[in-house]
Amino acid sequence: MRNSFIAGNWKMHKTPAESKALAAELVKGLSGCRHRLLVAPSFTALEAVASVVKGTNILLGAQNMAAEEEGAHTGETSVLMLKAIGVEAVILGHSERRHVYGETDDMINKKVKLALKHGLEVILCVGETLDEREAGNAETVVKNQTEAGLAGVSEAELAKVTIAYEPVWAIGTGKTATPEDADQIHKVTRAKISSLYSPAAAEKIIIQYGGSVKPDNAAQLMGMENIDGALVGGASLKAELFLPIAEYDK
């Protein structure tokens, strides 16, 4: 039985003070939550949020990191810097990084391996665009992104990887994949993990769904056999929306 994992991606929202206040509301509201939890504030708010979530049941995640440990990379943030302030996980390959900032599968794979080398957990995002879905290529795109993102990752390291299936057309648009459509992609992604690693690894891996998850669709999505949690954007910015998602009941 896989333990559900609910993560909030705060994107480029909230000052450190606002982030700290939201984190404090979540710590209070979710102290008895049965699911695994993570919040990913912006870089400038990580330290402030670290001071609030440290020692609680909420993990601290970053939204991205550099593909190199250090050096002449103006504007980038290193895995070493993230670890030094208490970050435990990193979201990599988010569709905004892929499609707005031009991150390639190779770049994302480099980051995945670097994060794992330094002991960070990884949430690897995959997902097709609307054009790719309409052309009938959704499954192929997701399988390819999964394989490329995990190239060179061992089965032992895979224990620290969560996959987030986020159809690009459903992110921040209010459109959600039907639970059945999402579950189908999760199923083929799990099968891909089985062929790349082993049936046992496929059975264990957590595959989150992301794309306009809200309190009123969370339970239905997470009730599907292959959906093991959610990566939540917009609805993670308000405690009154994130709390019921995190505490959904199948």
Known catalytic residues are 94, 166
182 token code pair: 């999402």
- Closest distance of CB 149 from ligand PEP, Å: 16
CA atoms within 13 A on the CB side of 24: 8
- Closest distance of CB 210 from ligand PEP, Å: 3
Contact 108, 124 (CB under 8 A): yes
For the chain, helix (H) and strand (E) counts, in that order, are: 12, 8
CA angle centred on 93, ends 191 and 61, rounded to 5°: 100
Nearer to ligand PEP, 6 or 202 (CB): 6
Binding site for ligand PEP (CB under 6 A): 9, 166, 171-172, 210-213, 231-235
Nearer to ligand PEP, 61 or 210 (CB): 210
- Closest distance of CB 237 from ligand PEP, Å: 9
- Closest distance of CB 59 from ligand PEP, Å: 16
CA atoms within 13 A on the CB side of 123: 34
Nearer to ligand PEP, 142 or 202 (CB): 142
CA dihedral for 79, 54, 160, 43, sign (positive or negative): negative
The SS3 of residue 157 is helix
Nearer to ligand PEP, 172 or 223 (CB): 172
* Phi/psi of residue 191, nearest 5 degrees: -65, -35
Q: Which residue is nearest to ligand PEP (CB)?
A: 233
